[in-house]
Structure 1
């Protein structure tokens, strides 16, 4: 995902035989704190270990963060993907680690995807079944054409995509910087409503409820249009796969993995081995010391470090963790306060078999398909691994206001509401009779250590995002602000995609190496070495 704001080729940096850098001999084995054991934290810890440092990981709950795969008690081989569950092939840095661990992937059953047996769209009480957009009524093709036309005419889609394919950074930056200036204050809905091809409210309504790629976009309508453009330009919404056995295998796999090219540490060293099998408990306080930082954990153990990598949602800095004000400059604290999160809820059930493949006696079609609807479930996804094995249904996947409709309901209340709604779409299908055990559900905005699914900027928040992303570049900061490095989804330009967690973690790795007197190989410069030639455009403040 060559993100246009900062088009550094992280995948090439990772693959280069020279490695990510070297540290002075005096730094070998030095402890560095890594707060948060999600995808960003584990990536940073893994690479810091490879470089010869001793990362000390603090985790409040379980390794993986929103890469969380919950096994079904009645069949633990099958999991519910509570957070991340689909990964675009353009996420090359993430796939560096997926491939390193030898994990198997499968085409994700998105609506109208080639591998999806069937998709049913239910809008306004009318249902249409299709395998591709061409099989839908003409108005859906009109909406698809309107979206493509708006992107081509107003956002230079072809020029950007071509520059990305050729990694033509000069063209990419020139066009994107103009788009940032034009659309920073524009919401997604505002873009649609002011596009000549979307003057029909009905077209905007259908696009919001169904959309193209992974489905409806209306819960994103209040967000900055720049957030949507990044998803489209990087093809994050296309060619997606799932990870067989669950995505939590990636951070857990890196926790256990023993790299072959370690500096300082003996062969067979892993993050798990350096931690005696378990991460430190939650960090509760991060303070400043004369030589660096002190971190207090939930066991009231205090350790000192020359550097700290911080990967959780940045709102936890406001109340979950007692922080020294000096950790960040005042402008960065403002950016933390202004961070906006998307809410999200999911509900999964285990079923005895993939009954949705049964033939409808009246039509001959499968009795159910991947479902997009304007009713309470919004998105229904079906997962199977053979006709004689249990299957998994994601009965609902919702965002923002649609997610809040579930927030006060218990798991079984949610299930009952969803089955009632789905009965109106599939009146002849008894879903409940196939369910095995209790539902598994989550609402990320009510999770105490997350308070949302992921960051997503509102119009006018680009400047705040730039401050957070570029925080790893600390050469111009006062000494009291150096050595504390933010990374993770909140810092990433591509919110909601694990690729952004990985790449910002790599920024933090570069920052720690630089902070401790190390450097990159001249033939393999890192993100900080090329920062000034690739830096995100700096919009005027006054």
Structure 2
């Protein structure tokens, strides 16, 4: 198994907004649901072949439906593993790259297709030999997991204290660990009402724990933070979003997928389930599609017969009783001509107000993991995982074994830092990052180590994405709830039924693959219900459990 197991109750992505045990639902021998025999073989359109689309297609195929995937780019979406030319097993993870073990739904599929993981080399983690914090021209070197120098320890302690003082963090997490739905909701729901319009920065700046410290402490927290890096790119975001992340330990115990995470959607594409309804043994998504998904979607409309008409980029129209859209929601107004009547105006407001965060990465391949060498004078490692206030922001080191080509993520940045390099070609990006790193490591000849061409991405420049992931602003909880709960369609007027939504931005935890998996499973439950089926009584799904677990509804 790729995910370590312990006997003590673990923190998992169990809510807190919708505390449903997706891992238990997936592993139950009764399966996820059953459809009327008349529905077997019916086509269901799925827009987007990222992890949400592939997971939904895989599960719907198992239940006897025929998923029809539409994809304008390549399989995997933002699970994109780019191989360096000339070294086919050396990769750069351009999208999702670190996956917390609390993501039980995601790891269910990793285990299913036999993918292995390894600890991600985050700063101050056991997987990083050393960490360098470079701030205001001063470099702090730390080996292994610490200890932290006193000033940084004060910042770390203030963050933990602020969480406990203002949210009752320990009690919240205890309820989540125990999967105590009543206790979790009694603690979480009042926080939603009180914090919906609160920014992350307001939480930090107004907390007694930080208020007794200097502005510089808050500045350092924003610049480098602790764990995976600085927090300042998220300072304008809703504090609810940040609290969910730390509560479910999405920032902790992160792992990478050996060989690249894009293998997951590709393996699911060719994986033959052991249990299939309707389809013969050995059936795969690839086989149902003759090896490739259909082209990208250009138009969605309600057909005269009540079906949803999907028109691809080449003008071919097909009609479906159910359609699942997993693409970025902005594409429904900018790239796909979508009939407004398919959604309520309230939902359109939520879809259009979704705010995407910019993100940029720049990678180079080097001859070997030279950073494991010791400097003969200082006895320090030659180079370290680096957090900085310079243009690079976060620099990560990926070791593929001694004397084998290795990878350096020269820069992983967000928002305004990502926009600084948006118009620049790869070579210019690399030159800027090397200049910044040379100020931190003046004795390291990085250019001499680089082999092959760089790999870089700015997700906001990709017309199929328009940004890396959602970042909810204060006041966006109602919007998020409208999108998340849309898989429950019994109370919608007929003209708004049949078109479902999934993807990490539909979830309450954007930017995490687990959110994409969970909303895909919600959509599976909604589609099965829409077509006259249901989850088994012994294994009720999110649709059957919705009334008891629904996210708290704030007054409009």
TM-score range, shorter chain: over 0.9
Structure 1 SS opposite 2:543: coil
Q: Kindly indicate whether the alpha-carbon contact (under 8 Å) linking 1:358 and 1:366 is maintained by their aligned counterparts in 2.
A: yes
Match of 1:266 in 2: 280
Q: Kindly indicate whether the alpha-carbon contact (under 8 Å) linking 2:363 and 2:407 is maintained by their aligned counterparts in 1.
A: yes
Are 1:147 and 2:162 matched, yes or no?
A: no
Match of 1:284 in 2: 298
Are 1:229 and 2:243 matched, yes or no?
A: yes
Match of 1:138 in 2: 150
Report how many aligned residue pairs link the two structures.
541
**Which of 408, 413, 420 is equivalent to 2:435?**
420
Structure 1 SS opposite 2:251: coil
Match of 2:210 in 1: 198
CA distance in 2 between counterparts of 1:461 and 1:394 reads 33
Are 1:172 and 2:187 matched, yes or no?
A: no
CA distance in 2 between counterparts of 1:326 and 1:523 reads 37
Structure 2 SS opposite 1:398: strand
CA distance in 1 between counterparts of 2:117 and 2:378 reads 33
Match of 2:512 in 1: 497
CA distance in 2 between counterparts of 1:38 and 1:90 reads 21
Q: Kindly indicate whether the alpha-carbon contact (under 8 Å) linking 1:128 and 1:136 is maintained by their aligned counterparts in 2.
A: no
Structure 2 SS opposite 1:252: helix
Shift of 1:388: 1.2
CA distance in 2 between counterparts of 1:352 and 1:153 reads 49
Match of 1:217 in 2: 231
Shift of 1:532: 1.1
Shift of 1:461: 0.7
CA distance in 1 between counterparts of 2:449 and 2:134 reads 23
Q: Kindly indicate whether the alpha-carbon contact (under 8 Å) linking 1:133 and 1:140 is maintained by their aligned counterparts in 2.
A: no
Structure 2 SS opposite 1:135: coil
CA distance in 1 between counterparts of 2:21 and 2:434 reads 46
**Which of 305, 309, 321 is equivalent to 2:336?**
321
CA distance in 1 between counterparts of 2:115 and 2:513 reads 16
The equivalences for 1:72-83 within 5 A come to 72-83=84-95
Are 1:411 and 2:426 matched, yes or no?
A: yes
Unmatched 5+ residue regions in structure 2? 1-12
CA distance in 2 between counterparts of 1:420 and 1:129 reads 20
CA distance in 2 between counterparts of 1:189 and 1:246 reads 34
Are 1:360 and 2:378 matched, yes or no?
A: no
Q: Kindly indicate whether the alpha-carbon contact (under 8 Å) linking 1:292 and 1:305 is maintained by their aligned counterparts in 2.
A: yes
Structure 2 SS opposite 1:529: helix
Structure 1 SS opposite 2:542: coil
Are 1:52 and 2:67 matched, yes or no?
A: no
Deviations 1:316-335 (A, max 9, x none): 00120011112111100000
CA distance in 2 between counterparts of 1:411 and 1:132 reads 32
CA distance in 2 between counterparts of 1:304 and 1:336 reads 24
Are 1:537 and 2:546 matched, yes or no?
A: no
RMSD over aligned Cα, in angstroms?
0.8
Are 1:34 and 2:49 matched, yes or no?
A: no
Deviations 1:313-353 (A, max 9, x none): 00000120011112111100000111011110000111111
CA distance in 2 between counterparts of 1:70 and 1:274 reads 27
Shift of 1:133: 6.0
Q: Kindly indicate whether the alpha-carbon contact (under 8 Å) linking 1:133 and 1:141 is maintained by their aligned counterparts in 2.
A: no
Match of 1:248 in 2: 262
Match of 2:3 in 1: none
Deviations 1:243-293 (A, max 9, x none): 000000111110010001010000110000000000001011111112311
Match of 2:7 in 1: none
Structure 2 SS opposite 1:393: strand
Deviations 1:440-496 (A, max 9, x none): 000011111101110110011100000000000111110100010000011011110
Shift of 1:134: 4.3
Q: Kindly indicate whether the alpha-carbon contact (under 8 Å) linking 1:114 and 1:131 is maintained by their aligned counterparts in 2.
A: no
Q: Kindly indicate whether the alpha-carbon contact (under 8 Å) linking 2:128 and 2:144 is maintained by their aligned counterparts in 1.
A: no
CA distance in 2 between counterparts of 1:475 and 1:347 reads 46
CA distance in 1 between counterparts of 2:457 and 2:320 reads 35
Match of 1:124 in 2: 136
CA distance in 1 between counterparts of 2:478 and 2:426 reads 39
Match of 2:114 in 1: 102
**Which of 62, 71, 74 is equivalent to 1:62?**
74
The TM-score, its normalising length taken from structure 2, stands at: 0.96
Are 1:451 and 2:470 matched, yes or no?
A: no
Q: Kindly indicate whether the alpha-carbon contact (under 8 Å) linking 2:125 and 2:145 is maintained by their aligned counterparts in 1.
A: no
**Which of 527, 532, 536 is equivalent to 1:521?**
536
Match of 1:438 in 2: 453
Match of 1:479 in 2: 494
**Which of 349, 352, 355 is equivalent to 1:334?**
349
Structure 1 SS opposite 2:287: helix
Match of 1:462 in 2: 477
Deviations 1:81-122 (A, max 9, x none): 000000000000000000001101000000101221110110
Deviations 1:62-94 (A, max 9, x none): 000000000101201111100000000000000
- Any runs of at least 4 consecutive aligned residues in structure 1 with deviations exceeding 6 A, and if so which? none
Structure 2 SS opposite 1:64: coil
The TM-score, its normalising length taken from structure 1, stands at: 0.99
